[in-house]
Amino acid sequence: MAHGLVVRDAHFPGRAPVDAYGDGGFRFAQMSHRGSILCLPSGIYGWPVTAASEVDAETLARVLEEAASIEVLLVGMGRDLVPLRPELRAALRERGVVADPMSTGAAVRTYNVLLSESRSVAAALIAVG
């Protein structure tokens, strides 16, 4: 059996508020993560998106897979509000998910409030510098 470094996808197996964001990452559950994150009912995952132009059905595949457990998806698009592509909004709506794009800061704050109210919320958060 080979021994050595095992690289795993970043994943926190639970729901947690986002304690801080900025400097290219996020802090949650007494941990920090460099880069963007997906906050889903199944946990918090590293998300390889760095710009709003990369948000599409492929990069949100995990969200679409868990759509039955999500009512609202907050999409933190970075520093600025960038609208979602109509076909992506339609794909989410077909699965019963209302998508709300906004700046990452606004998405973090809104996610934390909805999570504290035990709402069926998810967030796709692009890291900001």
Q: Is residue 37 within 8 Å of residue 125, measured between CB atoms?
A: yes
Residue 120 scores a pLDDT above 60: yes
Cβ neighbours around 67 below 10 Å, total = 18
Report the pLDDT value the prediction gives residue 5, as an integer from 0 to 100.
45
CATH number for region 11-125? 3.40.1230.10
Indicate the pTM of the whole model: 0.91
User: What is the rounded CA–CA span in Å between residue 126 and residue 50?
Assistant: 6
Instruction: List, for residues 43-77, the tens digit of each pLDDT value.
Output: 999 999 999 999 999 999 999 999 999 999 999 99
Residue ranges per structural domain of the chain: 11-125
Report the pLDDT value the prediction gives residue 6, as an integer from 0 to 100.
44
Instruction: List, for residues 4-48, the tens digit of each pLDDT value.
Output: 544 446 678 889 999 999 999 999 999 899 999 999 999 999 999
Report the pLDDT value the prediction gives residue 13, as an integer from 0 to 100.
82
Alpha helices (runs of H) in 40-124, residue ranges in sequence order: 61-65, 86-94, 104-116
CA dihedral 86, 36, 111, 89 (to 10 degrees): 10
User: What is the rounded CA–CA span in Å between residue 60 and residue 22?
Assistant: 22
What rounded mean pLDDT belongs to the chain? Answer: 92
